[in-house]
Amino acid sequence: MIRFHKEGYKIITITLIVSIVCVLLAEKLIDLFWLVKAIQLTIIGFLIIVLQFFRNPKRVVPLNDNVLVAPVDGKVVVIEEVEEPEYFKGKRLQVSIFMSPINVHVTRYAMSGEVKYSKYHPGKYLVAWHPKASTENERTTVVINNTSFGDILYRQIAGALAKRIVNYAKEGDSIVQGTDAGFIKFGSRVDLFLPLNTKLNVSLGDKVKGGVQVIAEK
């Protein structure tokens, strides 16, 4: 059975109602059979896109403090040593995962631990792969402390289509690896900032599965 994320309930309901009304109106108001069917198929196709975007598949999470799982579904587009200016103010290993509109957009906690920092930043809507997206786009920054890895920072970044980031992490929360950390509506990416000596299990271009695939280990 297909599950949908709670952040999509309102949009799915509105889209479903509007789709039904438009399908019926097309049948009633347009005489050309081929045009009616073309419009109806377009409406149904749009509805399917909305439904697949908000799907929330159940994942079996390998609870393990010595590994990090992918926080989202998508493609690894950045692996590099960078300066992280907001929280660490020092060098970290950045791993960025880009989500296309067809990916599952649930953000999951990469590890268990305690939320030490959580902050929302308004900003621009540059394309998610733009080099300045991590510091100039709408984004949230969350730091989790884990017994094995220490402090790990992840950043939800809105893209050109994304207009709303949902972040559930609150400072002081005790969180569990693989559970919902938030949602990014309509495309974007998530950046992870890890200790420089972190052993990665992914390479550039790899496609990862959120909540289950191990991307780094101690």
Active site residue 188: yes
Q: Contact, 169 vs 181, CB < 8 A?
A: yes
Distance CA(123)–CA(174), nearest Å, equals 28
Place of tokens 């992918």: 70
φ, ψ of residue 49 to 5 degrees: the values are: -60, -45
Cβ partners under 8 Å of residue 65, min gap 6: 111, 112, 146, 147, 148
Per-residue three-class SS string for 114-161: EEEEEEEECCECCCCCCCCHHHHECEEEEEEEECCCEEEEEEEEECCC
**What kind and span of H or E run contains 9?**
helix 9-29
Rounded Cα–Cα distance for residues 120 and 111 (Å):
21
**Which of 96, 112, 134, 188 is flagged as catalytic?**
188
CA atoms within 13 A on the CB side of 123: 24
Q: Tell me the CA end-to-end span of the chain in Å, nearest whole number.
A: 36
Residues 6+ apart with CB under 8 A from 118: 140, 141, 142, 143, 167, 169, 170, 171
Residues annotated as part of the active site: 188
